[in-house]
Amino acid sequence: MKFGGTSVADAERIKRAARRIVAQRDDGKRVVAVLSARGKTTDELIAMAEEVSPHPDRREMDMLLSTGERISCALCAMAINDLGHRAISLTGSQAGIVTDTSHTKARILDVRADRIREALDQDRIVLVAGFQGVSTSRDVTTLGRGGSDTTAVAVAAALGAEVCEIYTDVAGVFTADPRIVPNARKLPYVSFEEMLEMAASGAKVLQLRSVEYARNHGVRIHCRSSFDPGPGTFVLGEEETMERPLVTAVTHATDEARITLLGDGRDAEVSFTVPHEDLPDAERAMARVAEELGVARVDTDRRIGKVSIVGAGMRSHPGVAAKVFRTLAGEEINIEMISTSPIKISCVIRADAVDQAVRALHDAFDLGAGEIQREDGGPR
């Protein structure tokens, strides 16, 4: 069971999470819970670092940022103990999560879960600090934004867990962001491949690397609400998803920028997008590349957005791209770049047109109606 930052944001929510954890234990299950930092704790820690240093050392940032999850775990363990169960909180390193040496964006290499297993055998509920581990050079590392999802999936894989439940402030995975599309539908399940494309193109429900890890290790994910006991969305292997809708969801992103290497005469030699948080590093890297290649200049556009449609049924159904282009043209939305995969079409557009584009595509593919179009064109 993994609880996100909003799920443990204050004392009452920590107690609610503790009660849900205890309920699973009372139901006869052995439980490991992974917790994120409380609310805006990580943002506050980053602000502290920036108060004392314009360019904080990455190793020391990991030492600082890893404290947020440890606080959540210790507090939740206290709440569980008060409910009459025995809990133990573990840091990422104590839990055996081994990473590479890439500070602030480390990758998990191995989970040596012996201490977790020992605690479970002692009839304890185990709380693991998410988002962190210990590197092969014995330094504290963090996994990047959303890294607690990856911690949970990695621990689930190491233990052979029945399911990895990801608790968030939303009820599951929807056909679009409900804040933009009020009639967006909650999906009962999506395939790993669809969820990977959705996470990569803007869906914030699950972190990209956690879905990749789950697919590679066969971990079933159940994404559900911390505040609603009902079922959420299961992320499964494609062989388990019996029906394949033509289009599963519309996703979007407005937190990316475009970098273009411009030659003489403003002919673009290469153009790509990066997250805003990576933009300073990308600009410095591309400035060096431009100098080496003798390129005229590097142009940065921070006012772009991206809208994407994702669906496994697109593999075998022609005409989807044409429908996307017609829909956006009908809304007088200019497409500036296009990228595709067998189950995704992404369009770069102006940031201020993203909401309009999401609603138009959601309507065009009937994703909010009572029926979703299957890959054969019939109703689901």
Q: How many whole angstroms separate alpha carbon 194 and alpha carbon 147?
A: 20
> Taking a C-beta distance cutoff of 8 angstroms, is the pair 169, 112 a contact?
no
Cα–Cα distances in Å, from 306 out to 128, 144, 218, 367? 35, 22, 30, 19
Convert the pLDDT of each residue in 352-369 to its tens digit: 999 999 999 999 999 985
Q: What are phi and psi of 313, to 5 degrees?
A: -70, -15
At residue 197, what is the residue type? E
Domains 2-169 and 251-364 share a fold: no
Nearest one of 75, 69, 71 to 15, comparing CA atoms: 75
Where helices occur in 218-319 by DSSP H, the ranges are 279-293
Residue 227 confidence (pLDDT): 86
Q: How many whole angstroms separate alpha carbon 106 and alpha carbon 110?
A: 12
Convert the pLDDT of each residue in 221-264 to its tens digit: 999 998 888 899 999 887 665 556 789 999 999 999 999 888 76
Convert the pLDDT of each residue in 90-125 to its tens digit: 999 999 999 999 999 999 999 999 999 999 999 999
What residue ranges do the domains of the chain occupy?
Answer: 2-169, 251-364
Residue 296 has pLDDT above 90, yes or no: no
Residue 372 confidence (pLDDT): 47
Residues 6+ apart with CB under 8 A from 105: 142, 143, 144
Residue 146 has pLDDT above 90, yes or no: no
Convert the pLDDT of each residue in 31-48 to its tens digit: 999 999 998 899 999 999
Residues 6+ apart with CB under 8 A from 27: none
Residue 370 has pLDDT above 80, yes or no: no
Confidence band, pLDDT 50/70/90 cuts, at residue 266: low
Domain 251-364 fold is VC0802-like (3.30.2130)
More confident residue, 146 or 304: 304
Q: Residue 183 corresponds to which tokens in the numbers above?
A: 């009639």
Residue 308 has pLDDT above 80, yes or no: yes
Convert the pLDDT of each residue in 165-206 to its tens digit: 999 888 999 999 999 999 999 999 999 999 999 998 888 888
Residue 380 has pLDDT above 60, yes or no: no
> Taking a C-beta distance cutoff of 8 angstroms, is the pair 36, 45 a contact?
no
Where helices occur in 92-207 by DSSP H, the ranges are 114-121, 147-159, 192-200
Interior angle at CA 160, CA 121 and CA 218, nearest 5: 170
Cβ–Cβ contacts within 10 Å for residue 55, how many? 8
Domain 2-169 class in CATH: alpha beta
Interior angle at CA 308, CA 286 and CA 340, nearest 5: 65
Q: In percent, how much of the chain has pLDDT > 90?
A: 73
Confidence band, pLDDT 50/70/90 cuts, at residue 147: very high
Query: Which residue has tokens 């449609």?
Result: 309
Q: How many whole angstroms separate alpha carbon 132 and alpha carbon 91?
A: 8
3 state DSSP class of 54: coil
